[in-house]
Structure 1
Amino acid sequence: MYLVHWPVRLKAWVCDPIPKEDEFEPLCLDVTWSGMEKCLEMGLCRGIGVEMHPMWRQEKLRDFCRDQNIHVSAYSPLATPAQIALSWGLSKEVSVNVKSFNQERMKENKGAIDLKLEDEEILEIDSMFKEMKILRGEVFVNQSTSPYKTLQDLWDYEI
């Protein structure tokens, strides 16, 4: 899976998770997405998409992606209990990616496939949290070199 996690472009040598202003490169999302499509066509990946989380539902983005046949994936949507969070992600018609090397946890996570939440339960989970972005991306916003001058630019006014 080739995912868009943060829509920014940094210089190749940048390793620090908090980039400095002079470490940004110009960004063209159309070219990036086109390149991702080529990777898919060439068999370099099995899927391409963007991600979501129960506390950052991005309905506007998901609607756009659905209309454009772009896959959305819930990245590590784990909470307590994990199966409910996984099942919630599956109910939104997105794949869910979890990372675990613990066999017991992997078996538990697999149980989410058989767990079908009722519509009322999905609505309750949807309303449990005020929608918020935990990692808002302030480090990718600056006035000189980033393509995003404000957080609203970065999040298409969904923040």
Structure 2
Amino acid sequence: MEGVIEVPKVKLNSGHEMPVLAMGTAFPSLPDQDELVSSLIHAIEIGYRHFDTAAAYGSEEALGRAVAAAIQRGLVSGRDQLFITSKLWITETDRDLVLPALKRSLGRLGLDYVDLYLVHWPLRMKDAKESLVVTTENIIPFDMKGTWEGMEECHKLGLAKSIGVSNFTSTKISKLLQNATIPPAVNQVEMSVAWQQGGLLKFCGEKGIHVSAWSPLGNLGAGFWGSHGILEIPLLQDIAQAKHKTIAQVALRWVYQKGASVIVKSFNKERMKENLHIFDDDCELNDEEMVKIQQLPQCRGFKGEVFVHSNGPYKSVEELWDGDI
């Protein structure tokens, strides 16, 4: 299709290919559904093929409508042209709740399968609501082994082509791998020039697990809104100016060149198009630029205090992140 930009793909350990640029759908407050559907259809029109949603985002239904409309209009030849990621919320991280949760997500999406299904957080909350509202005192111990068995069942039934995790540390992945018969294909984590995840990237690389970056521009997402000030970093401004690129393009390209995929979230039509151009040859960062960016001060944006409670499994943010803060 004319005007459509092709996004590179990475082959996951499941054997499936995943586009390395995804359109995220988590918002501090959900846009009007029709407006959201329209924006998602436009994204497909210009070349986005990977969409990231979750049970807790409230955007699955809108994404499903956009997918159906795109296929109907011939923007893509079929469902197999799109890669859809969704996530299991912390209210459902229990052996017997995983499959029903995925089936509810598929119902909202109007799909027979998702391409990737992730455990959203290594946590359990005793609350029936699939929403981003977290009740700190309701956080209880997480049955990692049982939850992952449920995830493997989803994969074996063909309802999730690939399965993975999100916001897992190296320590937690090591624990999961002790019992897993299917390793996670992806670990989706906060990653940007301001929180580079060097150790985790290396660990996941050694285990054959692909890293996907949420908040690659430092906006911390729905419910945890904040900013690292990435777009004000002088070094990035200088590199962008020299390349005639935007600061956002430089920041996203750095994540991509580190071997991770990026989840972007802008429905501004110009920025949506700019994000697709981070793969252009003239956007490539040279070794010197990569090294300079690597030396930027580091700080985790989302500390996760909302998951910490004196009576819960995590008594401090250090415990939540296994010391990697």
Normalised-by-shorter TM-score class: 0.7 to 0.9
The 4+ residue runs of structure 1 with deviation greater than 4 A are none
Q: How does 1:7-156 map to 2 (within 5 A)?
A: 7-14=122-129, 15=131, 17-21=133-137, 23-41=138-156, 42-44=158-160, 46=162, 48=164, 49-54=187-192, 55-78=194-217, 79-80=230-231, 81-114=247-280, 115-128=283-296, 130-145=297-312, 147-156=313-322
RMSD: 2.4
Contact 2:151 2:163 in 1 (8 A): no
Contact 1:143 1:149 in 2 (8 A): yes
Gap runs ≥5 in structure 1: none
Cα shift at 1:117: 0.7
What code does the residue aligned with 2:294 have?
D
What code does the residue aligned with 1:151 have?
V
Q: 1:87 to 1:27 in 2, by over 3 A?
A: same
Mapped to 2, the partners of 1:150 and 1:134 lie a distance apart of 16
Cα shift at 1:45: 5.2
SS in 1 for 2:188: strand
SS in 1 for 2:262: strand
Higher mean Cα deviation, 61-70 or 105-114? Answer: 61-70
For CA contacts below 8 A with separation 6 or more, give which structure has more relative contact order: 1
Highest Rg: 1 or 2? 2
Gap runs ≥5 in structure 2: 1-84, 86-116, 165-186, 218-229, 232-246
Cα shift at 1:116: 1.0
Q: 1:135 to 1:52 in 2, by over 3 A?
A: closer
In proportion to residue count, which structure has more strand?
2
Contact 1:5 1:51 in 2 (8 A): no
Q: 1:3 to 1:92 in 2, by over 3 A?
A: farther
